[in-house]
């Protein structure tokens, strides 16, 4: 995926991505069936789909080939590049048989719920890639916002209307692509927020509202007064009404918080993390599995290692690539 140059980046967006990817890593290592665990999933995946919608530009059939070349195919190069690398790592670390490894490669091609272990998070990229493509085409052929909003509401409701693809069809959809029904509306909301409500959701008072809402929902969930689950990969989705607005407000509050801390010491580190979310997204589960081979690490160790080791490897790879190309070393960009 082509990376924007530094002068084009908006720091609070990278800070928000940094907070989001830390929440993703924490969610994968935190004990399940707890309110805190459930609450992480209310917003961290919607966050990335919303941010993905910020800069989507219209695409039509005459420009589709260029879009596929510049945006779509590079995502799948990363998908298969990281996937094959991690499968080989799995073969060595877990001492897998050749038959298991070949089947893992087959499952990588199929994607979605077929993937577990080292590759369990890979569903995100297939859903993200196709959601981006479809949203770009919608922006090209349905430029009126109200028409898109009506369509997105219908898609979102449809996405919540069945338990999962395997229960409805008898088999899982390749790449979890039926989740586009849920991801695409979040992408549209992100685009709308960025273009029409950015000045509102980045205000400090909005963060206060979002924190208050989160506290109310958290308390209600812990007391069993609501049942709000938003596990996108497994399509374990409840309460479409809550899912339609609560993640939006929570993510808006996070955008406001990200803007507040931008430029501080913590903000600068979150900015660096936010510029390398894909390596962390792809690699943190493998880091956790490898660490567990050496003992029983606590969650703090798992989260720190799950963020920093892929971050360091990504940075080292960029340095090597830059030196190989004859340029100077550079920081995150």
* Rg (alpha carbons) of the chain, rounded to whole number: 20
In tens, the pLDDT along 151-181 reads 999 999 999 999 999 888 999 999 999 999 9
Are 162 and 168 within 8 A, CB to CB? yes
DSSP state for residue 175 in the 8-state scheme: G
Main-chain dihedrals φ then ψ at residue 231, nearest 5 degrees:
-90, 95
Sign of CA dihedral 131, 284, 78, 76: negative
Residue 287 pLDDT more than 60? Answer: yes
Instruction: HSE, CB side, 13 Å, CA atoms: give it for residue 211.
Output: 8
Q: Is the pLDDT of residue 323 over 90?
A: no
Q: Alpha helices of 41-174 — where are they, by DSSP H?
A: 44-53, 61-67, 73-93, 98-110, 123-141, 145-159, 165-169
CB-based burial label for 285 (10 Å; 0-12, 13-18, 19+)? buried
Question: Under DSSP, is residue 33 helix (H, G, I), strand (E, B) or coil?
Answer: coil
Which stretch of 94-98, 202-206, 314-318, 323-327 has the lowest confidence by average pLDDT? 323-327
The reported pTM is 0.92
Q: State how far the Cα of 68 lies from the Cα of 118, in Å rounded to an integer.
A: 28
Q: Which percentage of the chain shows pLDDT scores above 90? A: 88
Tokens coding 152: 């997105």
Q: Tell me which of 199 and 143 has the higher pLDDT.
A: 199
| C-alpha pair distances (Å), 83 with each of 65, 238, 256, 315, 322 | 25, 31, 35, 19, 23
pLDDT at 326: 56
Q: What is the DSSP letter of 54?
A: T
Q: What is the pLDDT of residues 72-110, one digit of tens each?
A: 999 999 999 999 999 999 999 999 999 999 999 999 999
Task: Output the average pLDDT for the chain.
Answer: 92
pLDDT given at position 8: 66
| Residue range 33-83, pLDDT digits in tens | 899 999 999 999 999 999 999 999 999 999 999 999 999 999 999 999 999
Q: Lowest mean pLDDT: which of 53-57, 293-297, 298-302? A: 293-297
């Amino acid at each position: 995926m082509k990376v924007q140059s530094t002068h084009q980046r908006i720091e609070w967006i990278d800070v928000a991505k940094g907070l989001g990817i830390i929440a993703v890593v924490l969610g994968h290592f935190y004990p399940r069936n707890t309110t805190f665990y459930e609450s992480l999933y209310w917003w961290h995946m919607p966050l990335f789909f919303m941010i993905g919608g910020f800069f989507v530009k219209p695409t039509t059939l005459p420009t589709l080939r260029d879009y596929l070349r510049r945006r779509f195919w590079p995502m799948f190069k990363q998908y298969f590049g990281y996937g094959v690398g991690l499968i080989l790592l799995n073969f060595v670390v877990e001492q897998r048989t050749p038959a298991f490894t070949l089947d893992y490669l087959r499952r990588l091609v199929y994607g979605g719920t077929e993937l577990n272990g080292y590759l369990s998070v890979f569903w995100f990229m297939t859903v993200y890639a196709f959601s981006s493509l479809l949203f770009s085409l919608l922006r090209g052929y349905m430029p009126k916002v109200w028409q898109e909003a009506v369509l997105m509401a219908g898609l979102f409701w449809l996405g919540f209307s069945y338990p999962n693809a395997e229960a409805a069809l008898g088999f899982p959809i390749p790449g979890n692509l039926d989740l586009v029904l849920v991801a695409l509306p979040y992408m549209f909301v992100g685009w709308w927020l960025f273009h029409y409500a950015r000045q509102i959701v980045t205000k400090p008072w909005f963060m206060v509202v979002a924190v208050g809402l989160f506290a109310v929902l958290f308390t209600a969930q812990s007391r069993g007064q609501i049942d709000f689950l938003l596990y996108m990969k497994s399509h374990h989705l409840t309460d479409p009404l809550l899912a339609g607005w609560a993640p939006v407000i929570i993510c808006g509050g996070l955008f406001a918080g990200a803007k507040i801390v931008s430029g501080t010491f913590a903000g600068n580190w979150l900015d660096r993390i936010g510029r390398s979310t894909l390596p962390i997204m792809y690699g943190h589960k493998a880091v956790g599995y490898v660490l567990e081979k050496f003992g029983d690490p606590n969650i703090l160790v798992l989260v720190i290692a799950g963020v920093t080791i892929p971050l360091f490897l990504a940075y080292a790879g960029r340095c090597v690539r830059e030196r190989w190309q004859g340029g100077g070393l550079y920081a995150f960009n």
